[in-house]
Amino acid sequence: TARKKLVERHHRWKEEEYKGMPGHVDDPKQVDDQGNTIRPKYLSNHTHYSPTDPDARISTKPGKARQLNYCGQVAVDDAHHVIT
């Protein structure tokens, strides 16, 4: 419940902060078969997290959907020619 309150507070702040910016849409144009408006799913590091990897973050690339990605680590031992 504490995390949910933080997320809701963040969303209220973001909604108010970005209200006058270009690209802000108050009235979405997409409608499903029953006449309900379809809103895009909001993904952010405040709303999504990985319980198994706390270093995972939401990332995005141009033309791709946002998704939760994990950080990779590489260790190299030059003396013994080992990469892990």
pTM for this prediction: 0.38
Confidence (pLDDT) at 3: 84
Separation between Cα atoms, residue 46 and residue 37, nearest integer Å: 24
The answer to whether the beta carbons of residues 63 and 54 sit under 8 Å apart is no
List, for the chain, all residue ranges whose pLDDT scores fall below the cut of 70. 21-29, 38-41
Summarised one tens digit per residue, pLDDT across range 12-29 is 888 887 777 666 555 556
In the three-class reduction of DSSP (H, G, I as helix; E, B as strand; rest coil), residue 31 is classed as: strand
The whole-number pLDDT of residue 35 equals 75
Contacts for 4 with CB less than 8 Å, ≥ 6 apart: none
pLDDT score of 43: 72
